[in-house]
Amino acid sequence: MTRTVYVNGSYLPEDQATVSIFDRGFLMADGVYEVTSVLDGKLIDFEGHAIRLERSMAALDMTSPITSEALADMFRELVRLNDIDQGMIYLQITRGNPGDRSFVFPDASLPATIVAFTQNIPNLADAPAAKTGFKVISVPDMRWGRVDIKTTQLLYPSMAKMMAKKAGVDDSWFVADDGGITEGTSNNAYIVKGNRIITRQLSTDILHGITRASVLRFAAEAQFEVEERPFTVAEAQAADEAFSTAASIFVMPVVEVDGKPVGKGTPGPVAARLREIYLDEMRKTAI
Ligand code: PLP
């Protein structure tokens, strides 16, 4: 089955979908994106992603080209056309094609470029990695200073993923100048000590994860203590458990940091419970 993708109002076979070489997304990484999961053919945590998309565009002085209702309709249509039961929808909105290259933003009346496509992942909820957990290394956080904006400028996270791959592990966790872990290449980072879940506080240093917000809410409802502060690599290595969250991995246990096991070096009960609660609750509210 050929994948059907969305480009600027049209649903097209993927090999017929094109964007200009002058598009500012291509020339300047002048674009924002969202990844939304699909379970049982429905959108997970859609409202959170739609709100963050608006926030990212506002932070970059981009005019929003699509309402959240139209976005939900478009996502659902892509899910239907591609017969997705479990998977993801990638959405990217760029400042558009001004027909030339300039550092100056084009006039706000220039139409944005909107593209979206699905990824079919039949075992997303039942991912084998959730049973073994991620191993991570720490690397300096050398990203720009506004990583709270979800831009398509992902070169350093991509390099950090390659550092992890070369080290034979699954991901990198970024360490800021203050010695605290900020987050993973494409996920938020947590440790667990007793009944307490510790994760860095919201600021311009981390992406304000939509999964993070939901998981922390469910954690508090399940009587866990939530402490939002930086934690170090040494603290992570001495923790009972660690985990990461993102729309693409939900709650993923982290079993090793810089070659040292976290807790018993196997996925722990808190991460497993939070993953279960998250999936149950999200399935209830999926649209
Ligand atoms: N942090 C970074 C740097 C990310 O790229 C992502 C997701 O792509 C996340 C955190 C998790 O965000 P969300 O839970 O909204 O997927």
pTM of the model: 0.96
**Position in ligand 1 atom list of the atom nearest CA 147:** 3
Pocket-testing residue among 207, 211, 274, ligand 1, by greatest number of atoms within 8 A of Cβ: 207
* Helix, strand, coil percent values for the chain (each to nearest 5): 30, 30, 40
For the annotated catalytic residues, the residue numbers are 150
Q: Residues in the chain, how many?
A: 287
Q: Which residue type does 122 have?
A: P
Q: Where are the domains of the chain?
A: 4-120, 129-285
CB contact at 8 A, 37 and 124: yes
**Which residue ranges of the chain lie beneath pLDDT 50?**
none
Distance 238 CA to ligand 1 centre (A): 25
**Position in ligand 1 atom list of the atom nearest CA 49:** 15
Q: How does pLDDT run across 147-174, given as a tens digit for each residue?
A: 999 999 999 999 999 999 999 999 999 9
Atom 1 in ligand 1: which residue has the minimum CA distance?
Answer: 187
Atom 3 in ligand 1: which residue has the minimum CA distance?
Answer: 186
- Specify the CATH architecture of the domain 4-120: 2-Layer Sandwich (3.30)
CA distance 72 to 43: 8
pLDDT attached to residue 123 = 95
Give Cα 73 to chain centroid, integer Å. 21
pLDDT attached to residue 37 = 98
CA dist 266 → 7, 14, 44, 49, 184 (Å): 43, 40, 28, 31, 19
pLDDT attached to residue 1 = 81
Atom 7 in ligand 1: which residue has the minimum CA distance?
Answer: 186
Contacts 24+ apart (CB under 8 A), 227-230: 227/196, 227/197, 227/198, 227/199, 228/198, 228/199, 228/200, 228/201, 228/202, 229/180, 229/198, 229/200, 229/201, 230/176, 230/178, 230/179, 230/180, 230/181, 230/182, 230/200, 230/201
Tokens in use for 94? 């760029």
Q: Which helix (H) or strand (E) holds 30?
A: none
Tokens in use for 188? 């938020």
Q: Does domain 129-285 have CATH number 3.20.10.10?
A: yes
Pocket around ligand 1: residues whose beta carbon is below 6 Å from it?
35, 183, 186-188, 207, 209-212, 245-247
**Position in ligand 1 atom list of the atom nearest CA 188:** 10
Name every residue whose Cβ is closer than 8 Å to that of residue 211 and which is 6 or more positions away in sequence.
45, 188, 245, 246, 247, 250, 251, 278
Pocket-testing residue among 34, 187, 202, 251, ligand 1, by greatest number of atoms within 8 A of Cβ: 187
pLDDT attached to residue 168 = 98
**Position in ligand 1 atom list of the atom nearest CA 45:** 15
